[in-house]
């Protein structure tokens, strides 16, 4: 990506002003005014998606409505534009992107997209594809995806930065931004290349495979022990039900063989007593019930008879007593007396007491009654006896049947028990058969196979992890930076920068230049040396990086914008003088400045259009190359970023 021109659109929608640059060449913008020049970097940053509009204000800039940037990326012209924020706003999202690069007419500036989309499109065009920078293990940082914004620090060197010893890159004073630079430098150097995403996916897959293989191995080992346990249980049952000898050694390793033998053995013959008893028993039970019923009936009849006999007996008893009491007459000494008069009072009027003979008559009657009462139930006693005998006979029969029944039942129980046992054995056989089928012995070779798979998966994971490890990245980063450092050293020695005699390099963690002096390494950010030195180091570092990016086709915008690199070389009294000129410098400083510009020119030309450098500076050189470099961009004589008539 390089800049063809910057297009400024007047707020009024009528006017457009262009600042033309030459891609792939060394460009200089020279001129009087300080504002304006620095605004160029701000405008480029803004059009490439910076979060805020630049700090530069001023009447000139307030006339601008839209900032446009015509870029050339991979041979194609792309126009991007972003609206200047309206008054009161810090930024604006409104943007445009036109492929083909024709500059739109001033009246045609309106939002067609937003800046985030523009950035995304530019990323695609440059070739910053998906990438994910994973922080080193143990770090608490989230992985960072390198984007266009992370490449901007290699592009812009604002005025306040270019002579700063502490910070090498734009935005480094912000901790988060510095961290992002640190995290994304390896990517831009190609130490983490585009393939890592695919490799990471691959690693995830391999890790999954490894886990699966490990699980399968564990399962098979576990399953085997569980299976053995179940087999032992079955063996116990087989011993209990008599399927195998109970003294068989079940602790022997091959339980399966024992089980197989158990079910292959012949089942025993069924006993002949096993059938038929049930019917007999049933028949006897019925007979028993019959007899019971019969006995009950006969007993009931006997009871009736006995009741009748008892009644008769009672009646007989009563009659006997009557007879007996009547015989009291015989107790009386004189039974022939005739009652005529009361012996007490001699009167005759009381009713006649019975005479003795009347009592005797009474007795005879009673006696007759008694006799007949006894004989009115002829043979009752005999009948009762017969019943008794019958009952007894039935009871005897019942006892016989009962004892027969008991014998049969006992035999039947034994048979049932034997039957149950056979059933149990048969059932157990079935279970053992099923078990043996379900759990064929695990081949030793199968276990080996699983183990091999695990090893293979482990190896694959290992390889990928090595490829992707942060260590590998660090190594490759260091490797890349060694080239960068070699380049830096050459340039530093050419510029006769201090501490460069024994080599300088870029420290990717400290994000600063490291040189050497007799006492050891010197870090630029230790504030050693002078501003002139630091400018040199900024320049050579960025040039070396860009050379590396370009040689290795890295997706970094191939442009470098330097803002006021010579300022540090002016005497301090002249530094802010808008009219300062090269002649104001000391000779050796002039020399140094020339060297820097020469270096810039030569680097650009050695890259054959691969790099565009744009220098915004006050210094003017008489040389021809300088005029070529400036082109139209001489802002002396009142010209500036914005045409005078825009704000006059």
Partner 1 sequence: MKDWPNRPSEHRTLFNPAFLAVLIADIAAGYEDESKQPLPYVLPFLSVPIVIHEPTRESLPTIATSMYAWLDRRPQARVEIPLLAPQFVESIREAIRFGALHDALKFGAGGSIVPLDLSKPRRGSQTPELRRCRDRARFTGRWLGRAGDPGTILVAWGLRV
Which of 218, 337, 416, 581 touches partner 1 (CB under 8 A)? 337
Select the residue interacting with partner 1 from 351, 378, 578, 637 (CB under 8 A): 351
Residue 79: which H helix or E strand, with range? Answer: strand 76-83
Tell me how crowded residue 421 is: count the other CB atoms within 10 A of its CB.
15
Q: Which is nearer to partner 1, 321 or 576 (CB)?
A: 321
Cβ closer to partner 1: 18 or 320? 320
3 state SS of 196 = helix
Residue among 333, 440, 520, 578 that touches partner 1 (CB under 8 A): 333
The secondary structure element, H or E, covering residue 59 is: helix 59-62
Q: Does 324 bind partner 1 (CB under 8 A)?
A: yes
Rounded Cα distance, 425 and 227, in Å:
21
Single out the segment in contact with partner 1 by CB under 8 A; choices: 44-52, 112-120, 322-330, 624-632.
Answer: 322-330
What is the per-residue burial (b if ≥16 Cβ within 10 Å, else e) of 508-541?
beebbbbbeeeeeebebbeeebebbbbbbbbbbb
- Which among 248-256, 265-273, 345-353, 554-562 is the span making contact with partner 1, rule CB under 8 A? 345-353
Which of the stretches 18-26, 214-222, 334-342, 555-563 binds partner 1 when contact is defined by CB under 8 A? 334-342
From the list 111, 220, 327, 590, which residue makes contact with partner 1 (rule: CB under 8 A)? 327
- Is 226 or 371 the residue whose CB approaches partner 1 more closely? 371
Indicate the burial class of 638 (C-beta count within 10 angstroms; 0-12, 13-18, 19 or more): exposed
- CA-based nearest residue to 321, from 369, 353, 378: 369
Tell whether residue 328 is a contact of partner 1 (CB under 8 A).
yes
Binding mask 570-599 for partner 1 (x = CB under 8 A): ------------------------------
Q: Rule CB under 8 A: is residue 343 a binding residue for partner 1?
A: yes
Number of CB atoms found within 10 A of residue 588's CB: 11
Beta carbon nearer to partner 1, 335 or 471: 335
Cα gap 38→23, rounded to integer Å: 20
Which structure tokens are listed for 627? 């005029």
Please give the full DSSP string across 255-316, using - where no structure is assigned: HHHHHHHHHHSPPPPPPGGGSSHHHHHHHHHHHHHHHHHHHHHHHHHHHHHHHHHHHHHHHH
Q: Which stretch binds partner 1 (CB under 8 A): 123-131, 150-158, 296-304, 328-336?
A: 328-336
In contact, 644 and 33? CB cutoff 8 Å: no
Is 285 or 327 the residue whose CB approaches partner 1 more closely? Answer: 327
Between CA 555 and CA 559 the distance in angstroms is 12
Give the one residue of 326, 492, 495, 568 binding partner 1; rule: CB under 8 A.
Answer: 326
Q: What share of the chain is helix, strand, coil (3-state, %, to 5)?
A: 55, 10, 35
Q: Which of 353, 372, 406, 632 binds partner 1 (CB under 8 A)?
A: 353
How is residue 582 annotated by DSSP?
Answer: G
Q: Which of 249, 279, 330, 624 binds partner 1 (CB under 8 A)?
A: 330
- Kind of pairing between the strands at 26-31 and 634-635: parallel
Q: Phi, psi (5° rounding) for residue 71? A: -110, 160
Closest alpha carbon to 436 in 236, 238, 223, 227: 227
Q: Which is nearer to partner 1, 350 or 406 (CB)?
A: 350
CB 329 within 8 A of CB 363: yes
As measured in angstroms, the least distance from the Cβ of 400 to partner 1 is 46
Which region, judged by CB under 8 A, interacts with partner 1, from 130-138, 202-210, 354-362, 396-404? 354-362
Tell me the closest approach of the beta carbon of residue 336 to partner 1, in angstroms.
8
| CA–CA gap between residue 517 and residue 389 (Å, rounded) | 144
Nearer to partner 1, 55 or 338 (CB): 338
| End-to-end Cα distance, the chain | 35
Q: Provide, rounded to whole angstroms, the least separation between the CB of residue 377 and partner 1.
A: 22
**Residue found under tokens 């970097």:** 41
**C-beta of 224 vs 362, nearer to partner 1:** 362
Q: Does 320 bind partner 1 (CB under 8 A)?
A: yes
Q: Say whether residue 329 binds partner 1 (CB under 8 A).
A: yes
**334 sits near partner 1 (criterion: CB under 8 A):** yes
In this chain, which of 142, 297, 314, 335 binds partner 1, going by CB under 8 A?
Answer: 335
Using CA atoms, how far apart are residues 536 and 550, in angstroms rounded to an integer?
A: 21
Least separation, in Å, of the C-beta of 375 and partner 1?
A: 20
Span 364-423, contacts to partner 1 by CB under 8 A: 366
User: Which of 223, 337 has the CB closer to partner 1?
Assistant: 337
Closest to partner 1 by CB, 269 vs 336, is: 336
**Shortest CB 373 distance to partner 1, Å:** 13
CB of 309 to partner 1, least distance (A): 21
> Of the two residues 91 and 327, which places its CB atom closer to partner 1 in the complex?
327
The residues with which 82 forms a beta bridge, in sequence order, are 67, 95
Distance between CA atoms of 47 and 53, rounded to whole angstroms? 9
Least CB distance from residue 318 to partner 1, whole Å?
8
CB of 381: closest distance to partner 1 in angstroms?
22
Q: Which stretch binds partner 1 (CB under 8 A): 136-144, 224-232, 325-333, 482-490?
A: 325-333
- Considering the complex, state which of residue 337 and residue 386 has its C-beta at the smaller distance from partner 1: 337
Residue 120: both structure tokens together: 């995304």
The least CB distance from residue 338 to partner 1, in Å, is 8
CA angle at 90 for the pair 84 and 91, rounded to the nearest 5°: 45
Query: Where along the sequence are the contacts to partner 1 (CB under 8 A)?
Result: 320-335, 337-339, 342-344, 350-354, 356, 358-359, 362, 366
């Amino acid at each position: 990506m390089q800049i063809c021109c910057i297009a400024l659109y007047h707020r009024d929608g009528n006017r457009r002003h262009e600042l033309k640059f030459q891609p792939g060449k060394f460009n200089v913008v020279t001129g009087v005014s300080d504002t304006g020049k620095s605004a160029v970097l701000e405008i480029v940053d803004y059009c490439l998606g910076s979060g805020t509009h630049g700090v530069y204000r001023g009447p000139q800039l307030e006339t601008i409505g839209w900032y446009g940037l015509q870029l050339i990326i991979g041979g194609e012209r792309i126009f991007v534009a972003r609206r200047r924020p309206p008054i009161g706003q810090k930024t604006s999202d409104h943007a445009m992107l036109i492929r083909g690069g024709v500059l739109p007419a001033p009246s045609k500036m309106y939002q067609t997209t937003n800046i985030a989309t523009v950035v995304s499109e530019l990323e695609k065009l440059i070739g910053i594809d998906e990438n994910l920078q994973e922080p080193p293990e143990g770090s608490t940082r989230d992985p960072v995806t390198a984007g266009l914004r992370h490449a901007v620090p290699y592009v812009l060197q604002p005025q306040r930065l270019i002579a700063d010893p502490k910070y090498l890159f734009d935005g480094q004073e912000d901790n988060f931004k510095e961290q992002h630079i640190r995290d994304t430098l390896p990517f831009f150097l190609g130490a983490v290349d585009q393939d890592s995403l695919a490799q990471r996916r691959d690693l995830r897959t391999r890790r999954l495979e490894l886990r699966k293989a490990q699980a399968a191995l564990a399962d098979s080992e576990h399953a085997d022990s569980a299976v053995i346990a179940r087999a032992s249980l079955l063996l116990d049952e087989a011993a209990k039900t008599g399927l195998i000898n109970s003294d068989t050694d079940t602790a022997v390793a091959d339980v399966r063989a024992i089980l197989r033998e158990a079910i292959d053995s012949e089942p025993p013959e069924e006993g002949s007593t096993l059938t038929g008893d049930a019917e007999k028993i049933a028949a006897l039970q019925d007979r028993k019930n019959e007899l019971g019923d019969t006995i009950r009936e006969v007993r009931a009849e006997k009871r009736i008879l006995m009741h009748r006999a008892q009644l008769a007996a009672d009646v007989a008893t009563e009659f006997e007593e009557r007879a007996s009491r009547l015989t009291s007459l015989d107790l009386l000494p004189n039974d022939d007396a005739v009652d005529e008069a009361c012996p007490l009072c001699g009167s005759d009027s009381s009713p006649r007491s019975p005479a003795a003979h009347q009592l005797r008559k009474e007795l005879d009657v009673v006696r007759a009654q008694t006799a007949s009462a006894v004989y009115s139930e002829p043979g009752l006693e005999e009948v009762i006896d017969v019943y008794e005998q019958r009952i007894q006979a039935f009871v005897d029969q019942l006892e016989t049947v009962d004892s027969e029944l008991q014998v049969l039942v006992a035999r039947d129980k034994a048979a049932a028990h034997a039957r149950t046992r056979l059933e149990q054995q048969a059932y157990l056989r079935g279970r053992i058969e099923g078990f043996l089928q379900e759990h064929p012995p695990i081949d030793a070779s199968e276990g080996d196979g699983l183990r091999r798979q695990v090893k293979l998966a482990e190896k694959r994971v290992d390889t990928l992890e090595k490829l992707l490890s942060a260590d590998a990245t660090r190594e490759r980063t260091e490797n890349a930076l060694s080239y960068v450092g070699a380049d830096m050293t050459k340039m530093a020695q050419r510029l006769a920068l201090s501490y460069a005699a024994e080599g300088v390099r870029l420290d990717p963690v400290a994000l600063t230049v490291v040189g050497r002096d007799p006492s050891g390494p010197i870090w630029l950010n230790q504030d050693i040396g002078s501003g002139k030195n630091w400018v040199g180091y900024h320049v050579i570092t960025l040039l070396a990086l860009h050379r590396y990016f370009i040689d290795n086709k890295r997706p970094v915008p191939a442009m470098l914008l330097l803002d006021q690199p010579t300022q540090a070389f002016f005497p301090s009294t002249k530094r802010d003088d808008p009219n300062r000129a090269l002649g104001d410098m000391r000779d050796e400083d002039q020399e140094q400045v020339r060297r820097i510009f020469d270096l810039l020119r030569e680097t650009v030309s050695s890259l054959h259009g691969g790099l565009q450098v744009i220098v915004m500076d006050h210094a003017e050189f008489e040389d021809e190359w300088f005029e070529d470099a400036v082109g139209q961009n001489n802002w002396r004589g009142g010209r500036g970023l914005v045409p005078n008539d825009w704000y006059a």
